[in-house]
Amino acid sequence: MPELPEVETVKRGLTPAMEGTRVTRLELRRGDLRFPFPDAFADRVSGRTIVSLGRRAKYLLVDLDDGNTLISHLGMSGSFRIEEGRIEEGAASGMPGEFHHARSKDEKHDHVVFHLQAASGPRRVVYNDPRRFGFMDMVGRADLAAHPFFRDLGPEPTGNELSAAYLAERFRDKAQPLKSALLDQKNIAGLGNIYVCEALWRAHLSPIRAAGTLVTATGRPKAQLDLLVASIRDVIADAIAAGGSSLRDHIQTDGSLGYFQHSFSVYDRESQACRTPGCGGTVARIVQAGRSTFYCATCQK
Protein backbone atom coordinates (compact mmCIF):
# COMPACT_ATOMS: atom_id res chain seq x y z
CA MET A 1 0.00 0.00 0.00
CA PRO A 2 1.38 3.46 -0.84
CA GLU A 3 2.70 5.16 2.28
CA LEU A 4 3.08 8.79 3.26
CA PRO A 5 6.17 9.57 1.12
CA GLU A 6 4.50 8.09 -1.96
CA VAL A 7 1.33 10.11 -1.40
CA GLU A 8 3.37 13.25 -0.75
CA THR A 9 5.31 12.63 -3.97
CA VAL A 10 2.06 12.16 -5.89
CA LYS A 11 0.67 15.37 -4.37
CA ARG A 12 3.76 17.32 -5.40
CA GLY A 13 3.59 15.86 -8.89
CA LEU A 14 -0.11 16.62 -9.33
CA THR A 15 0.02 20.15 -7.91
CA PRO A 16 1.43 21.91 -11.00
CA ALA A 17 -0.93 19.92 -13.23
CA MET A 18 -4.13 20.51 -11.26
CA GLU A 19 -3.82 23.60 -9.07
CA GLY A 20 -5.61 26.59 -10.59
CA THR A 21 -7.32 24.57 -13.32
CA ARG A 22 -11.06 24.31 -13.91
CA VAL A 23 -12.69 20.89 -13.96
CA THR A 24 -14.67 21.00 -17.19
CA ARG A 25 -15.96 17.49 -16.52
CA LEU A 26 -15.45 14.74 -13.97
CA GLU A 27 -15.89 11.42 -15.75
CA LEU A 28 -16.81 8.39 -13.64
CA ARG A 29 -16.46 5.16 -15.57
CA ARG A 30 -18.06 3.03 -12.86
CA GLY A 31 -20.33 3.63 -9.90
CA ASP A 32 -17.82 2.82 -7.19
CA LEU A 33 -14.27 2.05 -6.21
CA ARG A 34 -13.80 0.50 -2.78
CA PHE A 35 -16.91 2.41 -1.75
CA PRO A 36 -19.65 4.07 -3.85
CA PHE A 37 -18.90 7.60 -4.97
CA PRO A 38 -20.71 10.39 -3.06
CA ASP A 39 -24.14 11.42 -4.31
CA ALA A 40 -23.98 13.64 -7.41
CA PHE A 41 -20.18 13.45 -7.21
CA ALA A 42 -19.50 14.24 -10.87
CA ASP A 43 -21.94 17.15 -10.91
CA ARG A 44 -20.52 18.64 -7.71
CA VAL A 45 -16.94 18.59 -9.02
CA SER A 46 -17.59 19.52 -12.66
CA GLY A 47 -17.30 23.26 -13.25
CA ARG A 48 -15.30 23.88 -10.08
CA THR A 49 -11.82 25.40 -9.91
CA ILE A 50 -9.13 23.51 -8.02
CA VAL A 51 -7.71 25.92 -5.45
CA SER A 52 -4.97 23.77 -3.93
CA LEU A 53 -3.77 20.25 -3.22
CA GLY A 54 -2.78 18.93 0.18
CA ARG A 55 -2.16 15.74 2.11
CA ARG A 56 -3.16 14.39 5.55
CA ALA A 57 -1.56 11.07 6.51
CA LYS A 58 -2.04 8.84 3.43
CA TYR A 59 -4.95 10.88 2.02
CA LEU A 60 -4.67 13.25 -0.94
CA LEU A 61 -6.80 16.41 -0.50
CA VAL A 62 -8.09 18.52 -3.40
CA ASP A 63 -9.61 21.84 -2.28
CA LEU A 64 -12.29 23.29 -4.58
CA ASP A 65 -13.45 26.88 -4.93
CA ASP A 66 -16.86 26.18 -3.36
CA GLY A 67 -15.36 25.23 0.01
CA ASN A 68 -15.52 21.48 -0.51
CA THR A 69 -12.55 19.12 -0.37
CA LEU A 70 -12.21 16.00 -2.50
CA ILE A 71 -10.55 13.20 -0.51
CA SER A 72 -8.64 10.50 -2.38
CA HIS A 73 -6.97 7.37 -1.02
CA LEU A 74 -4.82 5.26 -3.35
CA GLY A 75 -5.62 1.95 -1.66
CA MET A 76 -3.34 -0.90 -2.73
CA SER A 77 -2.86 -0.17 -6.43
CA GLY A 78 -4.21 3.29 -7.20
CA SER A 79 -2.26 5.90 -9.17
CA PHE A 80 -2.79 9.10 -11.13
CA ARG A 81 -1.66 9.70 -14.69
CA ILE A 82 -1.29 13.14 -16.26
CA GLU A 83 -2.06 13.55 -19.95
CA GLU A 84 -1.27 16.87 -21.61
CA GLY A 85 -3.06 18.26 -24.68
CA ARG A 86 -6.01 16.92 -26.59
CA ILE A 87 -6.00 13.16 -26.31
CA GLU A 88 -6.83 12.56 -29.96
CA GLU A 89 -3.76 14.56 -30.96
CA GLY A 90 -1.44 12.30 -28.96
CA ALA A 91 -0.86 13.25 -25.38
CA ALA A 92 2.37 13.44 -23.47
CA SER A 93 1.76 11.22 -20.46
CA GLY A 94 3.42 10.83 -17.09
CA MET A 95 2.76 9.29 -13.70
CA PRO A 96 3.69 11.35 -10.62
CA GLY A 97 5.27 9.09 -8.03
CA GLU A 98 7.02 5.76 -8.29
CA PHE A 99 6.28 2.92 -5.92
CA HIS A 100 7.98 -0.14 -4.50
CA HIS A 101 5.39 -2.20 -6.38
CA ALA A 102 4.65 -1.33 -10.01
CA ARG A 103 1.62 0.82 -10.85
CA SER A 104 -0.71 -0.06 -13.70
CA LYS A 105 -1.03 2.03 -16.87
CA ASP A 106 -3.61 -0.31 -18.43
CA GLU A 107 -6.49 1.90 -19.61
CA LYS A 108 -9.11 -0.72 -18.74
CA HIS A 109 -8.44 0.19 -15.10
CA ASP A 110 -8.96 3.93 -15.68
CA HIS A 111 -11.96 4.60 -13.43
CA VAL A 112 -12.00 8.38 -12.86
CA VAL A 113 -10.96 11.09 -15.34
CA PHE A 114 -10.56 14.76 -14.43
CA HIS A 115 -11.00 16.78 -17.63
CA LEU A 116 -9.19 20.03 -16.86
CA GLN A 117 -8.80 23.40 -18.52
CA ALA A 118 -5.49 25.09 -17.73
CA ALA A 119 -4.07 28.36 -19.02
CA SER A 120 -1.85 26.33 -21.36
CA GLY A 121 -4.75 24.28 -22.71
CA PRO A 122 -6.71 21.12 -21.89
CA ARG A 123 -5.34 18.19 -19.96
CA ARG A 124 -6.59 15.07 -18.25
CA VAL A 125 -5.68 13.56 -14.90
CA VAL A 126 -6.66 9.90 -14.82
CA TYR A 127 -7.12 7.74 -11.73
CA ASN A 128 -6.20 4.10 -12.42
CA ASP A 129 -6.79 1.33 -9.88
CA PRO A 130 -6.75 -2.37 -10.89
CA ARG A 131 -7.71 -3.71 -7.45
CA ARG A 132 -10.15 -0.85 -6.67
CA PHE A 133 -9.10 -0.61 -3.02
CA GLY A 134 -8.80 3.15 -3.37
CA PHE A 135 -11.72 5.51 -2.85
CA MET A 136 -12.87 9.11 -3.19
CA ASP A 137 -15.13 11.19 -0.98
CA MET A 138 -16.23 14.82 -0.55
CA VAL A 139 -16.53 16.93 2.60
CA GLY A 140 -16.70 20.61 3.44
CA ARG A 141 -13.25 21.92 4.23
CA ALA A 142 -14.46 23.31 7.55
CA ASP A 143 -15.63 19.83 8.57
CA LEU A 144 -12.49 17.99 7.49
CA ALA A 145 -10.92 17.55 10.94
CA ALA A 146 -14.14 16.01 12.29
CA HIS A 147 -14.51 13.58 9.38
CA PRO A 148 -14.29 9.88 10.41
CA PHE A 149 -11.15 9.47 8.28
CA PHE A 150 -9.28 12.17 10.20
CA ARG A 151 -10.74 12.80 13.65
CA ASP A 152 -8.68 10.13 15.44
CA LEU A 153 -5.41 10.57 13.57
CA GLY A 154 -2.25 11.36 15.49
CA PRO A 155 0.27 14.02 14.46
CA GLU A 156 2.14 13.93 11.17
CA PRO A 157 5.62 12.36 11.38
CA THR A 158 7.03 15.47 9.71
CA GLY A 159 5.30 18.01 11.97
CA ASN A 160 6.39 19.74 15.16
CA GLU A 161 3.74 17.93 17.21
CA LEU A 162 5.68 14.66 17.00
CA SER A 163 8.21 14.59 19.82
CA ALA A 164 9.76 12.15 22.26
CA ALA A 165 7.66 13.66 25.05
CA TYR A 166 4.48 13.08 23.05
CA LEU A 167 5.37 9.44 22.31
CA ALA A 168 6.37 8.87 25.94
CA GLU A 169 2.84 9.85 26.95
CA ARG A 170 1.37 7.47 24.36
CA PHE A 171 3.75 4.57 25.09
CA ARG A 172 3.93 4.69 28.89
CA ASP A 173 3.28 1.27 30.47
CA LYS A 174 2.44 -0.21 27.05
CA ALA A 175 3.40 -3.85 26.50
CA GLN A 176 2.43 -3.51 22.82
CA PRO A 177 5.30 -4.33 20.42
CA LEU A 178 7.09 -1.17 19.34
CA LYS A 179 6.39 -1.70 15.66
CA SER A 180 2.67 -2.13 16.26
CA ALA A 181 2.60 1.03 18.38
CA LEU A 182 4.27 3.00 15.59
CA LEU A 183 1.82 1.69 13.00
CA ASP A 184 -1.16 2.75 15.10
CA GLN A 185 -2.49 5.78 13.24
CA LYS A 186 -3.83 7.22 16.50
CA ASN A 187 -0.22 7.57 17.63
CA ILE A 188 1.34 8.80 14.38
CA ALA A 189 -0.59 9.55 11.19
CA GLY A 190 0.62 8.13 7.91
CA LEU A 191 3.53 6.05 9.15
CA GLY A 192 3.47 2.72 7.30
CA ASN A 193 5.17 -0.65 7.31
CA ILE A 194 8.19 0.15 5.12
CA TYR A 195 9.24 3.28 6.96
CA VAL A 196 8.64 1.88 10.43
CA CYS A 197 11.07 -0.93 9.58
CA GLU A 198 13.59 1.56 8.23
CA ALA A 199 13.26 3.97 11.18
CA LEU A 200 13.63 1.19 13.75
CA TRP A 201 16.79 0.00 12.01
CA ARG A 202 18.25 3.51 12.05
CA ALA A 203 17.45 3.83 15.76
CA HIS A 204 18.83 0.32 16.49
CA LEU A 205 15.56 -0.66 18.16
CA SER A 206 13.90 -4.06 17.94
CA PRO A 207 10.39 -4.13 16.48
CA ILE A 208 9.33 -6.72 19.04
CA ARG A 209 10.38 -4.91 22.22
CA ALA A 210 7.60 -3.40 24.33
CA ALA A 211 6.87 0.23 23.50
CA GLY A 212 6.78 1.07 27.21
CA THR A 213 10.46 0.16 27.63
CA LEU A 214 11.37 3.47 25.96
CA VAL A 215 9.75 5.42 28.81
CA THR A 216 11.07 5.90 32.35
CA ALA A 217 9.05 5.03 35.43
CA THR A 218 8.26 8.73 35.83
CA GLY A 219 6.93 8.97 32.28
CA ARG A 220 9.88 10.73 30.67
CA PRO A 221 11.29 9.62 27.31
CA LYS A 222 14.54 7.68 27.36
CA ALA A 223 17.36 8.72 25.02
CA GLN A 224 16.38 5.85 22.71
CA LEU A 225 12.99 7.47 22.15
CA ASP A 226 14.63 10.76 21.18
CA LEU A 227 16.73 8.84 18.66
CA LEU A 228 13.64 7.06 17.33
CA VAL A 229 11.80 10.34 16.70
CA ALA A 230 14.84 11.71 14.87
CA SER A 231 15.07 8.50 12.82
CA ILE A 232 11.39 8.70 11.86
CA ARG A 233 11.80 12.29 10.68
CA ASP A 234 14.97 11.48 8.76
CA VAL A 235 13.67 8.40 6.98
CA ILE A 236 10.46 10.15 5.89
CA ALA A 237 12.42 13.19 4.70
CA ASP A 238 14.90 11.00 2.80
CA ALA A 239 12.08 9.04 1.17
CA ILE A 240 10.23 12.17 0.08
CA ALA A 241 13.45 13.65 -1.28
CA ALA A 242 14.19 10.47 -3.23
CA GLY A 243 10.71 10.41 -4.71
CA GLY A 244 10.66 14.13 -5.35
CA SER A 245 14.09 14.58 -6.84
CA SER A 246 12.76 14.22 -10.40
CA LEU A 247 9.27 15.65 -9.94
CA ARG A 248 9.98 18.21 -12.66
CA ASP A 249 9.84 15.27 -15.09
CA HIS A 250 6.40 14.10 -14.03
CA ILE A 251 4.88 14.62 -17.51
CA GLN A 252 7.64 12.93 -19.50
CA THR A 253 6.44 10.00 -21.55
CA ASP A 254 8.15 7.33 -19.43
CA GLY A 255 6.90 8.85 -16.17
CA SER A 256 10.00 7.63 -14.34
CA LEU A 257 11.15 9.09 -11.04
CA GLY A 258 13.92 8.30 -8.60
CA TYR A 259 12.68 6.44 -5.54
CA PHE A 260 13.74 5.40 -2.05
CA GLN A 261 13.48 1.67 -2.75
CA HIS A 262 17.08 1.83 -3.95
CA SER A 263 18.10 2.92 -0.44
CA PHE A 264 16.26 0.37 1.70
CA SER A 265 18.47 -0.75 4.58
CA VAL A 266 16.33 -3.61 5.90
CA TYR A 267 12.95 -3.66 4.17
CA ASP A 268 12.70 -6.53 1.65
CA ARG A 269 16.35 -7.50 2.32
CA GLU A 270 15.78 -10.82 4.10
CA SER A 271 18.98 -12.91 4.53
CA GLN A 272 21.19 -10.06 3.33
CA ALA A 273 23.98 -8.54 5.41
CA CYS A 274 22.99 -5.78 7.82
CA ARG A 275 24.25 -2.40 6.64
CA THR A 276 25.13 -1.14 10.12
CA PRO A 277 28.91 -0.67 10.07
CA GLY A 278 30.65 -3.40 12.07
CA CYS A 279 27.41 -5.26 12.88
CA GLY A 280 28.00 -8.51 11.03
CA GLY A 281 24.36 -9.51 11.42
CA THR A 282 21.83 -10.63 8.83
CA VAL A 283 18.45 -9.14 8.05
CA ALA A 284 15.60 -11.38 9.22
CA ARG A 285 11.92 -11.40 8.33
CA ILE A 286 9.16 -12.07 10.84
CA VAL A 287 5.39 -11.55 10.66
CA GLN A 288 3.67 -9.15 13.06
CA ALA A 289 -0.08 -8.64 12.87
CA GLY A 290 -0.10 -10.11 9.38
CA ARG A 291 2.64 -7.81 8.05
CA SER A 292 6.25 -8.57 7.20
CA THR A 293 8.80 -7.04 9.52
CA PHE A 294 12.44 -6.81 8.45
CA TYR A 295 15.13 -6.17 11.08
CA CYS A 296 18.57 -7.17 12.32
CA ALA A 297 18.43 -9.03 15.61
CA THR A 298 22.15 -8.41 16.14
CA CYS A 299 22.12 -4.60 16.32
CA GLN A 300 18.43 -3.85 16.97
CA LYS A 301 17.71 -4.38 20.65
User: Which one of 111, 146, 181 terminates a domain?
Assistant: 146
Q: What is the mean pLDDT of residues 38-67?
A: 97
Say yes or no: 106 and 178 in one domain. Answer: no
Binding site residues, as ranges? Answer: 109, 131, 174
Sign of CA dihedral 65, 66, 67, 71: negative
The CA-atom distances, in angstroms, between 181 and each of 29, 192, 291 are 39, 11, 14
How far apart CA 248 and CA 256 sit, in angstroms, is 11
Say yes or no: 71 and 194 in one domain. Answer: no
Say yes or no: 125 and 177 in one domain. Answer: no
Is 275 part of a structural domain of the chain?
A: yes
**pLDDT, position 246:** 34
Say yes or no: 118 and 205 in one domain. Answer: no
Q: Can you spell out the DSSP letters for 10-30? A: HHHHHHHHHTT-EEEEEEESS
Is 64 part of a structural domain of the chain?
A: yes
Instruction: Give backbone dihedrals phi and psi of 201, rounded to 5 degrees, phi first.
Output: -65, -45
Give the count of domains, the chain. Answer: 2
Nearest to 272 by CA among 201, 166, 206: 201
Binding site residues for DNA, as ranges? Answer: 109, 131, 174
pTM reported for the whole predicted model: 0.86
Q: Taking 80 as the threshold, does the pLDDT of residue 39 lie above it?
A: yes
How far apart CA 268 and CA 280 sit, in angstroms, is 18
How far apart CA 245 and CA 258 sit, in angstroms, is 7
Which of 9 and 116 is assigned the larger pLDDT?
Answer: 116
The per-type count for the chain, helices as H runs and strands as E runs, is 6, 11
**pLDDT, position 1:** 65
Domain region containing 11? 4-146
What CATH code is carried by the domain that includes residue 200? 1.10.8.50
How far apart CA 266 and CA 272 sit, in angstroms, is 8
Pair 14, 53: CB distance under 8 Å = yes
Is 157 part of a structural domain of the chain?
A: no
**pLDDT, position 276:** 97
Band (239; pLDDT cuts 50, 70, 90): confident
Say yes or no: 11 and 131 in one domain. Answer: yes
Average pLDDT, the chain: 88
What CATH code is carried by the domain that includes residue 93? 3.20.190.10
Which of 142 and 7 is assigned the larger pLDDT?
Answer: 142
User: Which one of 85, 118, 146 terminates a domain?
Assistant: 146
19: exposed, middle or buried (Cβ count in 10 Å: 0-12, 13-18, 19+): middle
| Residues identified as active-site | 2-3, 58, 291
Say yes or no: 269 and 185 in one domain. Answer: yes
Say yes or no: 233 and 142 in one domain. Answer: no
Say yes or no: 242 and 208 in one domain. Answer: yes
**pLDDT, position 96:** 63
Q: Taking 50 as the threshold, does the pLDDT of residue 91 lie above it?
A: no
Pair 152, 46: CB distance under 8 Å = no
Rg (CA), the chain: 21
**pLDDT, position 244:** 36
Q: What is the mean pLDDT of residues 227-250?
A: 73
Say yes or no: 107 and 197 in one domain. Answer: no
How far apart CA 215 and CA 170 sit, in angstroms, is 10
Is 129 part of a structural domain of the chain?
A: yes
Is 156 part of a structural domain of the chain?
A: no
pLDDT tens per residue, range 126-164: 999 999 999 999 999 999 999 999 999 999 998 889 999
How far apart CA 162 and CA 191 sit, in angstroms, is 12
pLDDT tens per residue, range 109-121: 999 999 999 999 9
Say yes or no: 179 and 206 in one domain. Answer: yes
pLDDT tens per residue, range 211-224: 999 999 999 999 99
Say yes or no: 17 and 103 in one domain. Answer: yes
User: Which one of 113, 146, 179 terminates a domain?
Assistant: 146
Angle between helices 223-244 and 4-18 (to 10 degrees): 40
Helices (H), 1-146: 4-18, 41-45
Band (94; pLDDT cuts 50, 70, 90): low
Pair 295, 268: CB distance under 8 Å = no
pLDDT tens per residue, range 155-197: 999 888 999 999 999 999 999 999 999 999 999 999 999 999 9
Is 301 part of a structural domain of the chain?
A: no
31: exposed, middle or buried (Cβ count in 10 Å: 0-12, 13-18, 19+): exposed
**pLDDT, position 77:** 87
Is 154 part of a structural domain of the chain?
A: no
Say yes or no: 212 and 287 in one domain. Answer: yes
